[in-house]
Structure 1
């Protein structure tokens, strides 16, 4: 058996570069060569080389996958020594350095650098490493502050921010008219009073999966920018970087376009410790720079949309009523999309799928389980909910009790405060009040709205169903209500479960749609035996026949 005292140490090499602009690995290779030479000199066995390319060690929030893997491997006993080119290649965080110093002191870790500036095997070298890490940290903080000061000065001067160009603007800040046309169409479709488009439908239109007036499909913007950058590098005689693949547009990208104040010609700056006013959804407005009089600072670039259009989009995005049901779904075009549930039994012990179905141009589906046409299902659900609303029973009384004078008063107060914000905005636009007055009015109104909405949630889920439950004829009000209102009513009153249409039967079978109002034992006991038969017949996923059933 080999003598453990004379056996060579098992060592790991850690290599890192903050930003490899040329993406040629030359800087990493230089580090690797020096570290491997040191390993041979010390007669250590290199068991693993960990490489983090274009990864910063200054920001503790940044993930370094190779570093994290190395820490895990060390804790598992894979090696007892670490070699890196320089101490700041390993870490620029004093807290992380202390972890390694503790490992050197108490667990015998040997940590050395190829440039000879650190060796944690002695107390003097550990003291030097601490001093060096503190000095490096201080220098990075000074550098970061200089960069932030320059960015803030640039923003106050109204100069275009640096970084990836947004859709609609060229690298030099000029308007790219072809893309700008798309940006204007996105704002117009999202803010139009009648039948506004959702974030999802706009993303699908840009991806070519759905038709929206005024919006033509186009490649994903990040793909276009990566192609431009690759072409620019080729023109400079450099090796192009990998090009991001084209693909479908994301609703989050559309949200970013609608939130970006740059399209309205407003200058922005994001402090390092920025606290958005009201959460992430309103953070763009918190970043708009204002002068001493409270007026927004205008950028030196051409606006693509006017202020009114941009602020109208913010009002829509900030409106909590865009949430149309308790699942958190945003505005939809189908009555049961994200609302109805799949009732297919997928396990031998009787477990039901239970996932919310998705809506499409031809109906509803749950992947691998259900494909159903939608019109007959929606008609059936609408009729049965309307019938339920017509019955003067305990459920109706309970919902009306929840929707008493207190709830109506809260809703009225919220509407009044929203109107106050709009009035202040109009007064500001007309020059009647200054920016500071607008901010004071808006902040006070939004704070009160937040309090009222929290109170509204404690009153009951029926708090927003005034247009139905507060009328003399709830059934008719439900039938004539908007899609959003009908979805809210259904989501509040019942759980709708879809089963596949029984094979061999033509026409819509009402028993394939189960509506559970949830509070009455007799409803469950009186369900059609047909439902039980359906569930018995649906043990496991059912093959789909490639066509929609009625």
Structure 2
């Protein structure tokens, strides 16, 4: 319904209610209008309705007029609150068509029947819509609704947005790389040492969508709606992009009703809900969409692996980005633990205290030499390795065993200790498979350096996160105490061991 028609309807409803008030000699205290907000969905916020409830509880009103009962509420629970108010406190609630007068027993009965019928119709409509959405997903068709960044509503690629999505994935896939907050800042056009280079700057997606809607409204001769100001991108929006399986080409479907989260099941975390929405066929294979993927499957999975890292799940400060080349990456030669930055030094308490500048210069010299060799491409793993697909299939099978065990527990076929044993066993196997997949996708996000015409120059120009990832790909670095009394740097105290690559 267009804005003009909506305005006419609202005026007609208002006039009818005003006439009833005049006929009964009632004074109109206030008017409560929730424009274009359905009374059907109990999850929707209805500010005017909530204000009306508060005014009634405060004693400011003792009668309510509405066009029809379903304009007030379609929730049987809410209706019972108004029924109690009419019986216990004398509230007068009258509809303009005279069908639901809660001051009489017949009116209350009719209201309850009408609310029950309305709720039943809502449930039937929701079931039809869910079946249609599930069918679209099984067919691999793009879901209806708000378009995601990088795609049209029909599933066609919006190239300039897709380029930003690819860059987001490539930057974030690097372990200990850029933070989600830094990606949001980069998309918003901010600069700084912690913000990645080369990330396209985009207006907020909310603003872009409203501009597109207004273009359609203008073509239909409808009144334009206010376009929101361009606000900075938020971390939650970027996280939604990184979690969305559609970018890897997976068809998704999430039922309206989901089982309650099990706190003992790490796979039940909200951070994995996007992965759980991937639709699978009878053979437990992911259903692929008919649209063009924006990122490779292995890159999407590498991003999920980083998002699922325990340090990210338990981190409360939101800062998991390293600020120094070797912090947490280089190891102590005495205890094999990671060294930390301490002022201008790398430190392992009680074992090693070394000059950060000297160590970094030595390690970078070795990496530059390695990148300059002509056999660089020979050490890179094949990103199309069929083993990656096998791993995904095996992980799905192990997760299926956990789900079956949970069903058996609910049916009282197995005991709680059996469920825990199965979970522990299968989750351990899943962890091992995911670790293997991370090794096979080791170069994800490093193509700007390893595929460059001049890898050494590309390495020099790269962000700190990429440099750390390149170092970690090629070598292990262990620091030993520097000889006492010697001022010059001794390379023998830094053991740089090449990593074996197939």
TM-score (norm 2): 0.65
Cα distance change of structure 1 residues 207 and 62 upon mapping to structure 2, 3 Å threshold: same
Deviations 1:220-272 (A, max 9, x none): 12211111111111111111112122121111111111111111111111101
Deviation at 1:309, TM superposition (A): 0.7
Does residue 118 of structure 2 align to residue 136 of structure 1?
A: yes
1:251 aligned residue: 235
Deviations 1:293-347 (A, max 9, x none): 0001111111111110111111110111236x86443313458xxxxxxxxxxxx
Q: 2:190 aligns with which of 209, 223, 242?
A: 209
Deviation at 1:217, TM superposition (A): 1.2
Cα distance change of structure 1 residues 268 and 141 upon mapping to structure 2, 3 Å threshold: same
Does residue 32 of structure 2 align to residue 43 of structure 1?
A: no
Deviation at 1:28, TM superposition (A): 2.4
Cα distance change of structure 1 residues 124 and 306 upon mapping to structure 2, 3 Å threshold: same
Q: 1:197 aligns with which of 171, 178, 181?
A: 178
1:289 aligned residue: 279
Structure 1: distance between partners of 2:220 and 2:149: 24
Does residue 251 of structure 2 align to residue 267 of structure 1?
A: yes
2:304 aligned residue: 314
**Alignment RMSD:** 3.4
Structure 1: distance between partners of 2:12 and 2:202: 43
Cα distance change of structure 1 residues 447 and 93 upon mapping to structure 2, 3 Å threshold: farther
Match of 2:29, SS state, is strand
Cα distance change of structure 1 residues 390 and 269 upon mapping to structure 2, 3 Å threshold: same
- Contact 1:268–1:289, Cα closer than 8 Å, also in 2: yes
Structure 1: distance between partners of 2:277 and 2:349: 49
Q: 2:41 aligns with which of 50, 55, 59?
A: 59
1:304 aligned residue: 294
Structure 2: distance between partners of 1:437 and 1:245: 47
Deviation at 1:433, TM superposition (A): 5.3
Structure 1: distance between partners of 2:64 and 2:73: 13
- Contact 1:118–1:125, Cα closer than 8 Å, also in 2: yes
Gapped runs of 5+ residues in structure 1? 1-18, 336-377, 392-424, 453-470, 481-550
Deviations 1:111-140 (A, max 9, x none): 100011111111111111111111111111
State how 1:356-505 maps to structure 2 within 5 Å: 389=350, 427=387, 429-430=389-390, 436-437=396-397, 439-440=399-400, 444=423, 448=427
Deviation at 1:73, TM superposition (A): 1.1
Cα distance change of structure 1 residues 310 and 22 upon mapping to structure 2, 3 Å threshold: farther
Cα distance change of structure 1 residues 431 and 330 upon mapping to structure 2, 3 Å threshold: closer
Deviation at 1:431, TM superposition (A): 8.1
Question: More displaced, 272-281 or 245-254?
Answer: 272-281
Greater length-normalized contact order (CA 8 Å, ≥ 6 residues apart): 2
Cα distance change of structure 1 residues 388 and 430 upon mapping to structure 2, 3 Å threshold: closer
- Contact 1:293–1:434, Cα closer than 8 Å, also in 2: no
State how 1:132-211 maps to structure 2 within 5 Å: 132-192=114-174, 196-210=177-191
Does residue 236 of structure 2 align to residue 238 of structure 1?
A: no
Cα distance change of structure 1 residues 446 and 125 upon mapping to structure 2, 3 Å threshold: farther
Cα distance change of structure 1 residues 21 and 333 upon mapping to structure 2, 3 Å threshold: farther
Structure 2: distance between partners of 1:36 and 1:56: 23
- Contact 2:401–2:426, Cα closer than 8 Å, also in 1: no
TM-score (norm 1): 0.60
- Contact 1:389–1:474, Cα closer than 8 Å, also in 2: no
Match of 2:320, SS state, is coil
2:203 aligned residue: 219
Q: 2:62 aligns with which of 65, 80, 103?
A: 80
Cα distance change of structure 1 residues 74 and 473 upon mapping to structure 2, 3 Å threshold: farther
Deviations 1:254-291 (A, max 9, x none): 11111111111111111011247422111001111100
Cα distance change of structure 1 residues 120 and 433 upon mapping to structure 2, 3 Å threshold: closer
Structure 2: distance between partners of 1:167 and 1:448: 33
How many residues align? The count is 363
2:99 aligned residue: 117
Structure 2: distance between partners of 1:441 and 1:41: 69
Deviation at 1:190, TM superposition (A): 0.8
Question: More displaced, 164-173 or 438-447?
Answer: 438-447
